[in-house]
Structure 1
Amino acid sequence: MRPFLVVLCISSIAAAAVAASISTECVTEEPPSINIYDPVGTAVAAPVVKIRNGTIIGSRSGHVDSFKGIPYAQPPVGALRLRPPQSINRPFGTIKATSPRPTACPQVQNLQLNLSSLPPELEALVEDMLELPEPQGEDCLTLNVYRPSGATPCSRLPVGLWIYGGGFQNGATQLYNGTNLVNKSIQLGQPMVFVAMNYRLGAFGFLAGKKLQKEGSTNLGLRDQQLAMHWVRENIENFGGDPFKVTIFGQSAGGISVLDHMVINGGNNLYHGEPLFRGAIMDSGSIFPANSVASSKAQAVYDQVVEAAGCSNHFDTLACLRALPYQKFHAAAETIPDVFGFQGVDISFLPRFDPNDDFFSESAEVSIRCGNFAKVPIIIGDQEDEGTLFSLVQINITSSEELVEHLRTYYPEIGRRTLAGLVSKYPNHPSAGSPFRTGSENQVYPQYKRLAAIFGDLVFQWPRRTYLSVAAFQVPAWSYFSSYLYGTPVLGTFHSTDILALFGGGIGLISAEAVDSLQTHYISFINHLNPNTFSDSVVAETADQSREPLIPQVFLGDDSGGSVIDSLNRIRNWPRYDETRKLLNFGNHSNSIIRDYFRKKAFEYYVHHVEEFRF
Structure 2
Amino acid sequence: MYNLFVTLVSAAVFTSVAVALPAPTQTQQKRADTASVVLPQGTIVGSVSNGVENYGGIPFAQAPVGSLRLKPPQKLNTSLSTFDATGLGPSCPQMFFSTDGDLLTSVLGDLIDLPLFQVATGQTEDCLTMRVQRPAGTAADAKLPVLFWIFGGGFELGSPSMYDASSLVSNGVDQDKPFVFVSVNYRVAGFGFLGGKEILADGAANLGLLDQRMGLEWVQDNIEAFGGDPEKVTIWGESAGAISVFDQMALYDGDNSYNGKKLFRAAIMNSGSVVPADPVDSARPQGIYDAVVKEAGCDGDSDTLACLRNADYDTFLNAVNSVPGLLSYTSVSLSYLPRPDGKVLTDSPDVLALNGRYAAVPMIIGDQEDEGTLFSLFQSNITNTDELVNYIWKIFFPAIDRQYVEGLVDTYDPSVEAGSPFNTGALNNPYPEFKRLAAILGDMVFTLTRRVFLDSASSVNPDVPSWSYLASYDRGTPILGTFHGSDLLQVFYGILPNYASNAIQSYYISFLYTTDPNDGTSSNYPQWPQWKENNELMQFWSDKSNLLADDFRNTSQAYIADNAAIFLI
CA distance in 2, matches of 1:199, 1:584: 32
1:593 matched to 2:563: no
After superposition, what is the alpha-carbon deviation per residue over 1:48-83, rounded to whole angstroms, capped at 9, x for unaligned? 101111110011112211101111111111111000
Alpha carbons 2:64, 2:125 under 8 Å: kept: yes
Match of 1:300 among 287, 293, 318: 287
Match of 1:363 among 348, 359, 365: 348
Report the secondary structure of 1:455's partner residue. Answer: helix
CA distance in 2, matches of 1:454, 1:129: 27
Superposed displacement of residue 579, structure 1: 4.5
After superposition, what is the alpha-carbon deviation per residue over 1:489-546, rounded to whole angstroms, capped at 9, x for unaligned? 0000000011111222542xxx5221111111111111110111226xx43xxx4xxx
Superposed displacement of residue 457, structure 1: 0.3
Superposed displacement of residue 199, structure 1: 0.2
CA distance in 2, matches of 1:182, 1:383: 24
Report the secondary structure of 2:566's partner residue. Answer: helix
CA distance in 1, matches of 2:397, 2:277: 11
Match of 2:388 among 385, 393, 403: 403
CA distance in 1, matches of 2:282, 2:410: 29
After superposition, what is the alpha-carbon deviation per residue over 1:309-362, rounded to whole angstroms, capped at 9, x for unaligned? 00000111111101111111000011110011212111010001112x2x2111
Structure 2 matches for 1:314-463, cutoff 5 A? 314-355=301-342, 357=343, 359-409=344-394, 410-463=396-449
Cα root mean square deviation, aligned = 2.1
What is the aligned partner in structure 1 of residue 3 from structure 2?
A: none
CA distance in 2, matches of 1:586, 1:344: 27
CA distance in 2, matches of 1:517, 1:39: 29
Change (3 A) 1:91 1:378: same
Superposed displacement of residue 38, structure 1: 11
CA distance in 2, matches of 1:67, 1:89: 20
CA distance in 2, matches of 1:434, 1:116: 23
CA distance in 2, matches of 1:37, 1:387: 35
1:190 matched to 2:144: no
* Structure 2 residues not aligned, in runs of 5+: 1-25
Alpha carbons 2:121, 2:161 under 8 Å: kept: no
4+ aligned runs moved over 6 Å, structure 1: 36-40, 113-118, 120-123
After superposition, what is the alpha-carbon deviation per residue over 1:166-218, rounded to whole angstroms, capped at 9, x for unaligned? 00001110111011111000001111100001100000000011111111111
CA distance in 2, matches of 1:123, 1:385: 22
What is the aligned partner in structure 1 of residue 513 from structure 2?
A: 527
Report the secondary structure of 1:360's partner residue. Answer: coil
What is the aligned partner in structure 2 of residue 496 from structure 1?
A: 485
Match of 1:104 among 84, 91, 94: 91
Q: Name which of structure 1's ranges 594-603 and 127-136 shifts more when overlaid on structure 2.
A: 127-136
What is the aligned partner in structure 2 of residue 609 from structure 1?
A: 563
Report the secondary structure of 2:565's partner residue. Answer: helix
* Matched length: 539
Percent identity (aligned): 43
CA distance in 2, matches of 1:39, 1:462: 43
What is the aligned partner in structure 2 of residue 78 from structure 1?
A: 66
Q: Which has the larger radius of gyration?
A: 1
The code of the aligned residue for 1:68 comes to G
Alpha carbons 1:64, 1:148 under 8 Å: kept: yes
Superposed displacement of residue 117, structure 1: 6.9
Alpha carbons 2:220, 2:263 under 8 Å: kept: yes
The code of the aligned residue for 2:85 comes to A
Superposed displacement of residue 113, structure 1: 8.9
After superposition, what is the alpha-carbon deviation per residue over 1:136-193, rounded to whole angstroms, capped at 9, x for unaligned? 1111111110111131221010000000000000111011101111100000111110
What is the aligned partner in structure 2 of residue 59 from structure 1?
A: 47
Report the secondary structure of 2:556's partner residue. Answer: helix
Report the secondary structure of 1:282's partner residue. Answer: strand
CA distance in 1, matches of 2:480, 2:101: 13
Alpha carbons 2:331, 2:375 under 8 Å: kept: yes
Report the secondary structure of 2:130's partner residue. Answer: strand
Report the secondary structure of 1:161's partner residue. Answer: strand
After superposition, what is the alpha-carbon deviation per residue over 1:97-148, rounded to whole angstroms, capped at 9, x for unaligned? 0114x21011112126989779x99995895543344311111111110111
Change (3 A) 1:442 1:38: closer
CA distance in 2, matches of 1:584, 1:122: 33
What is the aligned partner in structure 2 of residue 573 from structure 1?
A: 527
1:206 matched to 2:193: yes
After superposition, what is the alpha-carbon deviation per residue over 1:256-314, rounded to whole angstroms, capped at 9, x for unaligned? 00001111111111111111000000000000111001111111111110000000001
Match of 2:472 among 483, 490, 494: 483
CA distance in 1, matches of 2:101, 2:274: 28
Superposed displacement of residue 234, structure 1: 0.2
Alpha carbons 1:146, 1:193 under 8 Å: kept: yes
Q: Name which of structure 1's ranges 243-252 and 91-100 shifts more when overlaid on structure 2.
A: 91-100
Report the secondary structure of 1:130's partner residue. Answer: coil
1:514 matched to 2:500: yes
CA distance in 2, matches of 1:503, 1:244: 23
Report the secondary structure of 1:353's partner residue. Answer: coil
TM superposition score normalised by structure 1: 0.85
Report the secondary structure of 2:215's partner residue. Answer: helix
TM superposition score normalised by structure 2: 0.91
CA distance in 1, matches of 2:139, 2:118: 36
Alpha carbons 2:116, 2:162 under 8 Å: kept: no
Structure 2 matches for 1:73-152, cutoff 5 A? 73-100=61-88, 102-111=89-98, 124=111, 129-152=116-139
Match of 2:220 among 198, 221, 233: 233
Superposed displacement of residue 429, structure 1: 1.1
The code of the aligned residue for 1:226 comes to R
After superposition, what is the alpha-carbon deviation per residue over 1:27-53, rounded to whole angstroms, capped at 9, x for unaligned? xxxxxxxxx99987x9x4421101111
